[in-house]
Amino acid sequence: MNRRTLHTLFASLAVAATFSTAAFAQAPIVLKFSHVVANDTPKGKGAERFKELAEKYTKGRVKVELYPNSSLYKDKEELEALQLGAVQMLAPSLAKFGPLGVKEFELFDLPYIFPGKDVLYRVTEGPVGKGLFKKLEPKGIVGLAYWDNGFKVMSSNKPMHVPADFRGMKMRIQSSKVLDAQMRALGANPQVMAFSEVYQALQTGVVDGTENPPSNLYTQKMHEVQKHVTLSDHGYLGYAVIVNKKFWDGLPADVRGQLQNAMKDSTKYANAIAQQENDRALDAVRKSGKTRVYSLTPPEKAEWRRALLPVQKDMEARIGRDIIQAVNKEALALGYK
Ligand code: LMR
């Protein structure tokens, strides 16, 4: 090699190095956010807003990849994937933390624990909500926010007016022991199943019915295979937005701050639209003409309460008496009896 060739070679190597350093410096941090529901739901829309704001606030230093509808992982797998770092962010329902070893989250599944959303917000934004997030840290997880969905309705192919109507029915539940106890208190047989499998299980009769807020029922088309829906307001469904702790702690401080702001703003948005999304979905279910939507009469409501309220006491040892009492105290402070 003569001097001239050598010189050219060094020059081109230097250019290549400059390019790759520049490319490296500009490579965005990828944040994979996996969830199990449709985009057109409170959680789906909250995730889309988070992506938009996270990319905007970090000026593109973070790229959020959304994987809705169990397209990457199903319920149980997604929690494992988060702990392994295969995804960085999830928003599982609060009924799905038991298998992770943080059963106290099942507080949110207790029948009639929240007489209104005002009590719920006091709980999630107060010491109980923060205390629950603390319990995630030893699992390598950081809790960032609570996202709302709404109160659940019951669905099946039979009218469900009183608890006796549930006798012997196979009801799909999420992986929560409280929900198991709730279905048993109604005389039903609970079956744990991943969300992505529910539609088909209902269609083929593997289970007879299920519970979910209208937004999930409608966007998964469950109303097409369920003739009856009862507006029972017996229980609540919400989410914890969580991140892999190693990923979160390893972010540059300024980026973490920008993502915190994006989370704060998308949480406000998700919680503001949750009720209207559910109202809209219920309306669409009614309009479909495929499902009869039934509202309980006051005496029927009283019967449901009589059957389901003992679950609160029965689950005290699992959830912790202190946190159940803390919720009841908030309710009293807000004027509920
Ligand atoms: C379910 O599994 O029934 C739902 O909680 C899914 C979800 O994330 O809303």
- Which residue pairs from 52-60 have beta carbons closer than 8 angstroms and sit at least 24 positions apart in sequence? 53/261, 53/262, 53/265, 53/266, 54/258, 54/259, 54/262, 54/263, 56/262, 57/258, 57/259, 57/261, 57/262, 58/255, 58/258, 58/259, 58/262, 60/28
Instruction: Convert the pLDDT of each residue in 290-303 to its tens digit.
Output: 999 999 999 999 99
Rounded to the nearest 10 degrees, how much is the dihedral formed by the CA atoms of 175, 317, 94, 141? -100
What per-residue confidence (pLDDT) applies to 26?
73
173 lines ligand 1 (CB under 6 A): no
Map out the domains of the chain as residue ranges.
24-333
Instruction: Convert the pLDDT of each residue in 222-267 to its tens digit.
Output: 999 999 999 999 999 999 999 999 999 999 999 999 999 999 999 9
Average pLDDT of the chain, as a whole number: 94
Instruction: Convert the pLDDT of each residue in 301-327 to its tens digit.
Output: 999 999 999 999 999 999 999 999 999
Q: What architecture (CATH level 2) is domain 24-333? A: 3-Layer(aba) Sandwich (3.40)
DSSP-assigned letter for residue 92: -
How far, in Å, from the CA of 292 to the mean position of ligand 1? Answer: 22
CB 212 within 8 A of CB 222: yes
216 lines ligand 1 (CB under 6 A): yes
What's the Rg (C-alpha) of the chain? 23
Q: Which atom of ligand 1 is nearest to the CA of 174?
A: 2
What per-residue confidence (pLDDT) applies to 3?
56
212 lines ligand 1 (CB under 6 A): yes
pLDDT beneath 50, residues of the chain: 6, 15-16, 18-20, 23
